[in-house]
């Protein structure tokens, strides 16, 4: 976050004759100079800012950056925004303007491009104002962070945060599955032997607790904390936050796993009979029921980026489903044995799977390519990904948390680890908090994982501190902009892409109806010139000048490209020649 400030600072202190008054950050800069490691970095930065400064000075010369008093602005121009930050807010690719575009289209494109650039810059700049920073955990020298115990962390941090590490001893009805509400305030626990309770876990306020006297397979919050769904032995039930049964949905039987798609108001369920069903919870109708024909479905995850449901199968495949298609969108073979668990990150780029072959695999699901494969001695039974990309994997009664699973190279050791009493049945990161919830045979454990949660929430989207009125208002708004299930597809941005296919089809029909092409470029008609220049030969010559204009562009481009390639080749050859021949002794050189 400090980068832009530093940059602006460096740029102003380079070429100035008179020193500006000393500011509070100047000492910090001297420290930087003292540090040889950072020196190189700052040098490069200086060079960079030097260039920028000159550019800006040039700009200033053309404009008027001077004040009436004769002083010059020490920070001329607008503050620079680092390109990485800009990249975060980049939406889609830049539009390629072609020569054949009409001037009107060109003008529209230029205008909208300028607008979106401005928006991008402003949004990137706003990052500076975000109030909170993410958590972290750093060990001392030769201390592994994974050896740090939860008790130590709870002791080291403040009381409020320390209270986030707690255990619930519920030995009677376990093992437990859990679900956090979207804003991270509420926790839903479902014991296998029928115990269901929902808790405002930060205040430890019990909202309701009951025993449904049946097996509970899975539980899920619906769009607000006022309603939740419980997959029981036979049917799917919906309860409100006081524990009153609202619906028993007999169309959804033998449900094993559930996922809620918050923007579509869809509850997706996977059943023991091999059916994937979608329930629209805003109107209470079944949207789609798909027979997957692949047996018992007990591994399920949703892609939060595009609302595609991922199912893991006993034959090691993972299939991707949308409610609009009876067949899977994609089927990929991920493991030798059965798939045990799945998780997809919030940007929709990476999928983490674990299988009975005791491997943990990370896939890029935009390219459908494996990135890393790890071998875990016991295999992971439950996976969960946090908002900031931490991966928790439960093996037996140990929960391990990994960092940078897809970022850098392969990981060697976990970031954190924690042993619970019983075997783990469900894990889940709490959104907007540094907390991992673990449901196991002996109850529930809330574990502190620094750096897991997104520090800055957007209150118009999800607000952990919202009041009742705000929730009601949000609910109305959210229902108004409920996304229709037909819009679920692999690319959620498809709607703003240019539909070339149907345009071409329409154009074809139009040409057929009209008998001519209305968009065709007029053929070049040479103007009739006086004074003997309109001889047939001269006219022919002029016609030839503009003939095949479009083809010429392509040819020109390819020729240029070829020339460049040849040039590069030559340069490489030249360099090689300069380096000289390799001698036999070269291999001893360091």
Partner 1 sequence: MKVKVLCRNPDDYVRETSKDIQRVPRNYDPTLHPFEVPREYTRALNATKLDRIFAKPFVASLDGHRDGINCIAKHTKSLATVLSGACDGQVKIWNLSKRECLRTIQAHEGFVRGMCSRFCGTSFFTVGDDKTIKQWNMEAPGYGVREEPLTTILGKAVYTGIDHHQTEGTFATCGQTVDIWDEQRSSPIRSFSWGVDSFSCVRYNPVETELLASCASDRSIILYDMRESAPLKKVVMQLRSNTLCWNPMEAYNFTCANEDYNLYTYDMRRLDTPVTVHMDHVSAVLDVDYSPTGREFVSASFDKTVRIFPKNSGHSREVYHTKRMQHVICVRWSMDNKYILSGSDEMNIRIWKANASEKLGVLTSREKATIHYNQKLKEKFQHHPQVKRIARHRHLPRDIYKQKREQREMKEARRRKEQNVRKHSKPGSVPLVTEKEKHVVTVVE
Q: Rule CB under 8 A: is residue 156 a binding residue for partner 1?
A: yes
Q: Binding segment for partner 1 among 167-175, 368-376, 462-470, 550-558 (CB under 8 A)? A: 462-470
Pick from 69, 467, 575, 583 the residue near partner 1 by CB under 8 A: 467
Q: Rule CB under 8 A: is residue 558 a binding residue for partner 1?
A: no
Q: Binding segment for partner 1 among 132-140, 363-371, 395-403, 545-553 (CB under 8 A)? A: 132-140
Q: Rule CB under 8 A: is residue 495 a binding residue for partner 1?
A: yes
Cβ atoms 154, 165 nearer than 8 A: yes
What are the structure tokens assigned to 120, written together?
């991008």
Q: Rule CB under 8 A: is residue 343 a binding residue for partner 1?
A: no
Q: Map residues 497-536 to x or -, x wherever contact with partner 1 holds by CB under 8 A.
A: ----------------xxxx--------------------
Nearer to partner 1, 9 or 287 (CB): 287
Q: Rule CB under 8 A: is residue 437 a binding residue for partner 1?
A: no
Q: Rule CB under 8 A: is residue 213 a binding residue for partner 1?
A: no
Q: Rule CB under 8 A: is residue 468 a binding residue for partner 1?
A: no
Strand partners, 399: 394, 418
Whole-number minimum distance, CB 455 to partner 1, in Å?
6
- How many Å apart are CA 7 and CA 85, to the nearest integer? 14
Q: Rule CB under 8 A: is residue 166 a binding residue for partner 1?
A: no
Pick from 74, 77, 135, 274 the residue near partner 1 by CB under 8 A: 135
Run of H or E residues at 294: none
Query: What does residue 89 show for φ and ψ, rounded to 5 degrees?
Result: -100, 10
Pick from 109, 128, 134, 256 the residue near partner 1 by CB under 8 A: 134
Q: Binding segment for partner 1 among 55-63, 488-496, 531-539, 556-564 (CB under 8 A)? A: 488-496
Q: Rule CB under 8 A: is residue 84 a binding residue for partner 1?
A: no
What are the structure tokens assigned to 52, written together?
């920028």
Pick from 63, 139, 295, 410 the residue near partner 1 by CB under 8 A: 139
- How many Å apart are CA 124 and CA 174, to the nearest integer? 47
Q: Rule CB under 8 A: is residue 144 a binding residue for partner 1?
A: no
- How many Å apart are CA 268 and CA 558, to the nearest integer? 51
- How many Å apart are CA 560 and CA 125, to the nearest integer? 39
Q: Rule CB under 8 A: is residue 434 a binding residue for partner 1?
A: yes
Q: Binding segment for partner 1 among 9-17, 58-66, 135-143, 219-227 (CB under 8 A)? A: 135-143
For the chain, the residue count is 590
Q: What is the 3-state secondary structure (H, E, C) of 364-433?
A: ECCCCEEEEEEECCCCCCEEEECCCCCEEEEECCEEEEECCCCCCCCCCCCCEEEECCCCEEEEEECCCC
- Geometric angle at alpha carbon 480, from 475 and 482, rounded to 5°: 90
Burial-class residue 276 by CB neighbours within 10 Å (0-12, 13-18, 19+).
buried
Q: Taking the CB of residue 299, how many other CB atoms lie within 10 A of it?
A: 23
Sign of CA dihedral 50, 51, 54, 55: negative
Eight-state DSSP code of residue 481: T
Q: Rule CB under 8 A: is residue 86 a binding residue for partner 1?
A: no
Whole-number minimum distance, CB 105 to partner 1, in Å?
13
- 251-290 residues near partner 1, rule: CB under 8 A: 263
Exposed e or buried b per residue across 6-29, where buried means at least 16 C-beta atoms within 10 angstroms of its C-beta: bbbbbbbbeeeeeeeeeeeeeeee
Which spans of this chain sit near partner 1 (rule: CB under 8 A)? 88-89, 91, 123, 126-127, 130-140, 143, 148, 152-153, 156-158, 160-161, 164, 263, 304-305, 307, 346-347, 432-434, 448, 450, 453-461, 463-465, 467, 470, 480-484, 487, 492-496, 513-516
């Amino acid at each position: 976050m400090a980068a832009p400030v530093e940059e602006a600072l460096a740029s102003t202190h380079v070429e100035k004759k008179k020193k500006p008054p000393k500011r509070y950050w100047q000492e910090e800069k001297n420290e930087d100079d003292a540090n040889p490691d950072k020196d190189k970095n700052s040098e490069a930065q200086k060079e960079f800012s030097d260039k920028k400064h000159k550019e800006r000075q040039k700009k200033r010369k053309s404009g008027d950056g001077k004040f009436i008093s004769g002083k010059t602005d020490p920070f001329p121009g607008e503050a620079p925004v680092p390109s990485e930050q800009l990249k975060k807010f980049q939406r889609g690719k830049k539009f390629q303007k072609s020569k054949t575009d009409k001037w009107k289209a060109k003008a529209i494109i230029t205008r909208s491009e300028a607008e979106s650039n401005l928006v991008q810059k402003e949004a990137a700049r706003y990052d500076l104002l975000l109030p909170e920073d993410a958590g972290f955990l750093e060990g001392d020298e030769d201390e592994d962070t994974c050896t740090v115990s939860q008790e130590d962390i709870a002791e080291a941090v403040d009381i409020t945060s320390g209270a986030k590490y707690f255990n619930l001893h519920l030995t009677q009805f376990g093992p437990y599955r859990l679900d956090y509400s979207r804003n991270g305030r509420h926790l839903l626990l479902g014991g296998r032997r029928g115990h269901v309770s929902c808790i405002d876990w930060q205040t430890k306020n019990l909202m309701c607790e009951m025993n449904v006297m049946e097996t509970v397979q899975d539980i899920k919050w619906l769009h607000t904390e006022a309603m939740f769904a419980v997959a029981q032995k036979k049917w799917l039930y919906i309860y409100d936050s006081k524990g009153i049964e609202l619906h028993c949905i007999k169309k959804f039987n033998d449900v094993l796993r559930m996922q809620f798609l918050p923007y579509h108001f869809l509850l997706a369920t996977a059943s023991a009979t091999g059916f994937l069903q979608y329930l629209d919870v805003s109107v209470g109708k079944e949207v789609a029921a798909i027979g997957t024909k692949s047996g018992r479905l007990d591994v399920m995850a949703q892609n939060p980026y595009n609302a595609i449901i991922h199912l893991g199968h006993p034959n090691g495949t993972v299939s991707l489903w949308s409610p609009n298609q009876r067949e899977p969108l994609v089927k990929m073979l991920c493991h030798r044995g059965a798939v045990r668990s799945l998780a997809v990150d919030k940007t929709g780029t990476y999928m983490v799977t674990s299988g009975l072959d005791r491997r943990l695999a990370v896939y890029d699901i935009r390219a459908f390519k494996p990135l890393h494969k790890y071998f875990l001695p016991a295999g992971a039974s439950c996976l969960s990904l946090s908002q900031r990309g931490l991966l928790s994997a439960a093996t037996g009664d140990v929960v391990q948390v990994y960092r940078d699973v897809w970022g850098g190279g392969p990981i060697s050791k976990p970031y954190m680890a924690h042993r619970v009493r019983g075997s783990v049945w469900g894990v889940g990161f709490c959104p907007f908090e540094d907390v991992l919830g673990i449901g196991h045979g002996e109850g529930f454990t809330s574990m502190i994982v620094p750096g897991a949660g997104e520090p800055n929430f957007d209150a118009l989207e999800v607000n952990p501190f919202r009041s009742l009125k705000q929730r009601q208002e949000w609910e109305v708004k959210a229902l108004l902009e409920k996304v229709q299930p037909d819009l679920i597809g692999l690319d959620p941005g498809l709607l703003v892409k240019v539909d070339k296919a149907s345009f071409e089809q329409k154009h074809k029909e139009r040409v057929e109806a009209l008998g001519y092409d209305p968009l065709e470029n007029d053929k070049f008609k040479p103007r009739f010139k006086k004074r003997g220049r309109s001889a047939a030969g001269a006219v022919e010559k002029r016609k030839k000048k503009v003939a095949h204009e479009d083809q010429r562009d392509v040819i020109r481009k390819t020729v240029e490209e070829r020339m460049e390639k040849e040039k590069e080749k030559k340069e490489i050859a030249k360099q090689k020649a300069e380096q000289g021949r390799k001698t036999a002794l070269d291999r001893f050189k360091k």
